[in-house]
Amino acid sequence: MSSNSFGQLFRVTTWGESHGAAIGCVIDGVPPLIPISEPEIQEYLDKRRPGQSRFTTQRREPDAVRIVSGVFEGVTTGTPISLIIDNVDQRSKDYSEIKDKFRPGHADYTYWKKYGIRDYRGGGRSSARETAMRVAAGAVARKVLGDAVSIRGALVQVGDSAVDRSKWDWDEVPRNPFWCPDADTASGWEKLLDKVRKAGSSTGAVIEVTASGVQAGLGAPVYGKLDADIAAAMMSINAVKGIEIGAGFAAAGLSGEDNADEMRIDNSGNVRFLSNAAGGVLGGISTGQDIVIRFAVKPTSSILAPRKTVTTDGRETEISTKGRHDPCVGIRAVPVGEAMLACVLADHLLRHRAQCG
């Protein structure tokens, strides 16, 4: 058991605080002889890297990853892969404002209640900086899954503004700073988030991630359900408050007739589903259809407007967070959500192979 590890057979352990010397992860259980290089991991880290537009935090972290073990002559050896990213933008800063005050809606308070101590510099272990290692691990997970599996994410809602699904275009996703699949909605978000940003405020969002090419049979009864592990994976991402699969919460309003994904045989003799209310998972096991999940991210608690709070020594006060923060943390959550889905699928691929050969 480890609270800082994720997965059973494709097992990722992360470490590091936002303002320590470095952050890192150890990935155990990776099959041998898989080609993997730093640039292949860096590609995904670059998608998550802050400061790429005015809509994400202006911290300058190059997030350059180093493979320190587990890869020899360009391929995995089956031994633990250690990945390390040095923290370079730890600018000297005055933390006196937050050192003794709790930010409402932040983990400040709960860490302090649990441990009696917290690393107040930049959130310490609770910082979203930790998600960089998830993205790095996700890049390795994709290699384990192979080219047949494709995992793509998109931002589908910012504040109250949701994408128009009839205009969904995956090619549009990398063209705008929001990973938005609908160009028109992206324009609207630009205006919306400029307003939020200038006000020193923040807003929530919804992310959708899809995995295509996943074989039927991954996942397991009863507590090892693929969607149970996906739910934990997504809920473990900073700021996530909800997760759904397929029809999700809308399934509550469906009839049994509408929810049943009818089945036919296609020309190749394979099973074909006529719909995907299940989101690719039935009874916790993949159906072979696309796995489609969504998760909701709350607005960051680091805002300019003063909020009522208390101090570590029990006095009432107010707090206002200045500095470099994301008006919508949901944007950078897109590559993180993709990475977590990749990790869960890689884990279940190995688990399935163990039991079912």
Residues 293-322 that bind its own copies (CB under 8 A): 296-303, 305, 307-310, 314-316
Among 122, 279, 335, 337, which residue sits at the site for its own copies (rule: CB under 8 A)?
A: 279
**Whether the bond into 222 is cis, omega within 30 of 0:** yes
Under the binding rule (CB under 8 A), the answer on residue 36 touching its own copies is: no
Report residue 330: phi and psi, to 5°: -60, -30
Closer residue to its own copies, CB minimum distance, 85 or 171? 85
Cα(135)–Cα(236) distance, integer angstroms: 14
Cα(25)–Cα(81) distance, integer angstroms: 8
Q: Binders of its own copies: how many residues, by CB under 8 A? A: 156
Closer residue to its own copies, CB minimum distance, 171 or 265? 265
Give the pair of three-digit tokens for residue 100: 């003794």
Closer residue to its own copies, CB minimum distance, 86 or 171? 86
Under the binding rule (CB under 8 A), the answer on residue 223 touching its own copies is: yes
Among 45, 151, 220, 334, which residue sits at the site for its own copies (rule: CB under 8 A)?
A: 220
Cα(159)–Cα(129) distance, integer angstroms: 23
Minimum Å distance from CB 311 to its own copies?
Answer: 9
* Amino acid at site 6: F
Tell me, residue by residue from 320 to 349, as one string, x for binding to its own copies by CB under 8 A and - for no binding.
----------x-------------------
Cα(317)–Cα(80) distance, integer angstroms: 47
Minimum Å distance from CB 237 to its own copies?
Answer: 9
Helix (H, G, I), strand (E, B) or coil at 246: coil
Among 244, 291, 334, 345, which residue sits at the site for its own copies (rule: CB under 8 A)?
A: 244
Report residue 258: phi and psi, to 5°: -75, -30
Cα(137)–Cα(344) distance, integer angstroms: 11
Task: Pick out residues in 145-204 that bind its own copies (CB under 8 A).
Answer: 157-160, 196, 201-204
Closer residue to its own copies, CB minimum distance, 5 or 90? 5
- The sign of the dihedral angle between the CA atoms of 205, 211, 216, 221 is negative
Q: How would you classify residue 250: left for phi > 0, otherwise alpha for psi between -120 and 50, otherwise beta?
A: alpha
Cα(201)–Cα(181) distance, integer angstroms: 25
Among 154, 173, 245, 339, which residue sits at the site for its own copies (rule: CB under 8 A)?
A: 245
Closer residue to its own copies, CB minimum distance, 225 or 324? 225
Cα(14)–Cα(73) distance, integer angstroms: 25
Minimum Å distance from CB 185 to its own copies?
Answer: 14
Among 40, 88, 89, 104, which residue sits at the site for its own copies (rule: CB under 8 A)?
A: 104
Under the binding rule (CB under 8 A), the answer on residue 100 touching its own copies is: no
Report residue 66: phi and psi, to 5°: -120, 135
Task: Pick out residues in 44-83 that bind its own copies (CB under 8 A).
Answer: 66, 68-70, 72-73, 75, 77-82
Closer residue to its own copies, CB minimum distance, 171 or 330? 330
Among 46-54, 88-96, 184-192, 291-299, the segment contacting its own copies (CB under 8 A): 291-299
Burial label, 62 (beta-carbon count in 10 A; 0-12, 13-18, 19+):
middle
